[in-house]
Amino acid sequence: MGQLVYEDDQVAAFNDLNPAAPVHVLIIPKKHIEKLADIEDGEDACLAGHILTVANKIARERGIAEEGYRVVVNNGSGAGQSVWHLHFHLLGGRKLGWPPG
**In the predicted structure, residue 98 carries a pLDDT above the cut 90:** no
Q: What is the pLDDT of residue 88?
A: 97
pLDDT in tens, 3-30: 999 999 999 999 999 999 999 999 999 9
CB-based contact 26:51 (threshold 8 Å) = no
**Catalytic option among 24, 32, 50, 87:** 87
Selection from 59, 30, 64 nearest residue 44 by Cα: 30
CB-based contact 17:2 (threshold 8 Å) = yes
Residue 90, CA distances (Å) to 18, 35, 50 in order: 13, 17, 14
Would you say the C-alpha torsion 24, 69, 55, 48 has a positive or negative sign?
negative
Q: What is the pLDDT of residue 85?
A: 96
Ranges of each domain in the chain: 4-92
Catalytic residue check, 87:
yes
pLDDT in tens, 30-66: 999 999 999 988 899 999 999 999 999 999 999 999 9
* 4-92 to CATH, choices 3.50.50.60, 3.30.428.10, 3.40.50.720, 3.10.20.30: 3.30.428.10
pTM of the predicted protein model: 0.93
